[in-house]
A and B are shown apart, each in its own frame.
Chain A
């Protein structure tokens, strides 16, 4: 997030796009609901009539995968109406003219046709966002999990820039990170192209820096992304995989492909707290400590680094992940893994990661710190880009965009568009939440949400088992007939191993971020 969670409550207009915020993350949704209650405009852009719509001023119910058209259409309205913040654009941005040229294809009639949202409503939302600021954008996987997810994000960035809603309090472009430490994993360089602190692998000076710090020589090749790794495994290029705390058996788009790949590995090590579906495929399974059994830090969606503290001992011989990794490294004769405790690791992190440069456990005793926090006396940074952007020129880039369709759209054979979402009561593949009886009681199985009209045309009743098939696989679930889904759209979660939704989803990747398009694929339905 460019801004802090608490700042959402201070926004005058909130655009929540591609996020079912009250289901995930619910505590953050409290801020948006509170703001709306106290008079802020809440614009919800979502193909489904999600719960947040109850609090919305405007609901833009666009077709899945048409976000670029919707947002660029809004920008065109803003520019045409003279609502662009030219002072901000001139002083803090670049590439505006080329960008404005790219708006020509997004006239309201065309956008209305693509998105299915009345042009008038788009215009109203656009003007509201532009003129009743500060305006904050919240987005989530509904934006990123598309084959043009990067474009989607760029479009939101453009929208914020054109109205001067970036680098200012209570505004910003705010991705709501899904998992507890997804921000931290990225910050720590658990990514193929960057070292900790987003220092590019491709830059020789960075490689040199880490070679010096770690006392080893490093590869100058960028690594493979998650999906590419499975492709390379499939092709026999990767033979060993060390998998920690993840369950691709259920979570990977086009899961059958991932399962097949893992079966081809020479050696699979899975390190987890439960024997997950994936762990059962492993050659070695290592027992890890849960969050309640170890010390460390998590970095949340607003870049706040907070202390995790050990409350109880791990069961049996289970160990904290870092101790296991260190033990493997040491077994392999490596140096630089002999830490006594977690604070020593944080000390090393701070020494090589500029944005974490001022972080130490002592300083985290209060309420945590938001990076960038480059030095021990730095107070942390609640709001990013104040005064200057983190680009080489210090200016923000406008990105000209054009609309592209999703990779797979419904056709005669697969007439329904399937999108995925999450349940409030479960988390990811359910390895934790499905082991909590109460949560299981509240939500115990997968439901295919379907519009009453579609259900009627297929002769489906509520709570009836239906067979769902895509070009890649098939599964079954019970129906939940609901107006939440517009006609033509069906929706499932992916929490339930009994109905593995991701056997259906599309493997099409975003060319830049390599994120699979789990939000749009074509399926057909039959009464089971």
Chain B
């Protein structure tokens, strides 16, 4: 791939041919404010917040403008600053001011952008505020949809289309009445939505927000325990509880994608019905017992049924190390090859 050199705000940077100005900037850690862009998706160029001035004459959107050798870009040109500040003011004037109780607070792209472009209370007070009042869609068990917070960046629509190919949602209506919608704006749970949550993680505001989300204290990188794809996950931990699962963007298998089970099906981990002590059946009922009691009984019984009177069924859900020891135990200790697992089911 050939390299080109462009200048952004006086700084010369090199970029790959075919990159957009925004990508080139981001690759060098330069921030150009934007709302509708997402690295996984094709650029849309709709929020108009990433406008820059090119070669001192043309206002263009950096997310769609391909780099060209010798190109000179200004992000601080007065005309550009005015357009993007007005644009962000328009969005904020159309957005509920409920930041403190908002799911996205602190993690909100709109907050970040508004701060960056210099939105002020005085500036905002000039505008007429008319927030759309559309009832929330709370039908999905894992996330809520709040259209009043939606900035119509279309990231969710493009995610559902370009990445998931599910197309549960699309733009509907037009102009100021535009909204992201299922057929007939029916509850999302009644659509073909597969609840993968890919749109939820990409929503720059809290128009799509996980239900009852808890911010984890720290994250642990691991592998999903459901199907054989082996998606990389980040288990969010708070105390001794898994409170969230995110896709691991660095994992080569899923590159961050997850399905509904992988992302939201984690509550079994801290489920109250988890077994926490050994149980021994006494008079037909299972009763709590100590490990010693249980192990003694097992050792005694297994010792009496060595050879082909014994069989072990390992599991396709436990680790390689677990499986290795179980087959070793069966073969080396119990003296039989009667070991299998549920691979076939």
Contact = CB atoms under 8 A, between A and B. Distances in A.
Are A and B close enough to touch in the complex, i.e. CB under 8 Å?
yes
Nearest to B323: A188
Contact of A346 (B297, B299, B305, B321): B321
A180 B194 contact: no
Given A185-B323, A274-B273, A301 B228 contact: yes
B21 interface: no
Interface stretch (B94-102, B107-115, B278-286): B278-286
Contacts of B225: 180, 290-292, 298, 432
A272 B275 contact: yes
Nearest to B245: A292
Given A190-B327, A282-B281, A342 B319 contact: yes
B323 A190 contact: yes
Contacts of B30: none
A26 B196 contact: yes
Nearest to A52: B165
A146 to B, nearest CB: 11
Contact of A223 (B315, B323, B337): B337
A196 B222 contact: no
A199 B262 CA distance: 33
A5 B252 CA distance: 9
A433 to B, nearest CB: 5
Interface stretch (B8-16, B50-58, B231-239): B231-239
B274 interface: yes
Contacts of A456: none
Interface stretch (B76-84, B144-152, B328-336): B328-336
A55 B167 CA distance: 12
Contacts of A251: 342, 345
A438 B141 contact: yes
Contact of A30 (B163, B189, B286, B339): B163
Given A244-B313, A336-B332, A283 B280 contact: yes
B40 to A, nearest CB: 11
Contacts of A246: 313, 315, 341-342
B332 A302 contact: no
Which of B268, B302, B304 has the largest number of chain A CB atoms within 10 A?
Answer: B268
Given A321-B318, A439-B260, A439-B265, A309 B310 contact: no
A289 B296 CA distance: 21
Interface string A271-313: 0111100011011111110111111111111101111111111
A395 interface: no
Contacts of A518: 345
Contacts of B195: 425, 438, 442
A25 B228 contact: yes
Contact of B295 (A307, A318, A331, A441): A331
Given A180-B224, A244-B313, A312 B254 contact: no
Contacts of A316: 274-277
B289 to A, nearest CB: 8
B317 interface: yes
A223 B260 contact: no
B229 to A, nearest CB: 5
A280 B337 contact: no
B126 interface: no
Nearest to A186: B343
Contacts of A6: 252
A312 B240 contact: yes
A243 B298 CA distance: 12
Contacts of B254: 27
A241 B313 contact: yes
B338 A300 contact: no
Given A298-B319, A311-B242, A218 B331 contact: yes
Nearest to B139: A441
B222 A291 contact: yes
Nearest to A429: B345
A441 B270 CA distance: 19
B223 A282 contact: no
Which of B163, B309, B343 has the largest number of chain A CB atoms within 10 A?
Answer: B343
Contact of B320 (A28, A252, A299, A329): A299
Contact of B281 (A27, A222, A284): A284
Contact of A329 (B211, B305, B333): B333
A214 B330 CA distance: 12
A332 to B, nearest CB: 5
A304 B344 CA distance: 20
Interface stretch (A80-88, A232-240, A384-392, A465-473): A232-240
Contact of B331 (A219, A242, A309, A432): A219
A177 B341 CA distance: 14
Nearest to B234: A311
A288 to B, nearest CB: 7
Interface string A176-195: 11111111111111111101
Contacts of B163: 30, 34
A485 interface: no
Interface of B: 141-142, 162-165, 189, 194-196, 211, 220-232, 235, 237, 240-242, 250-254, 257-262, 264-271, 273-281, 286, 289, 291, 294-299, 301-305, 307-333, 335-345
8 contacts: A28-B229, A185-B314, A229-B340, A245-B318, A305-B320, A310-B220, A322-B322, A435-B271
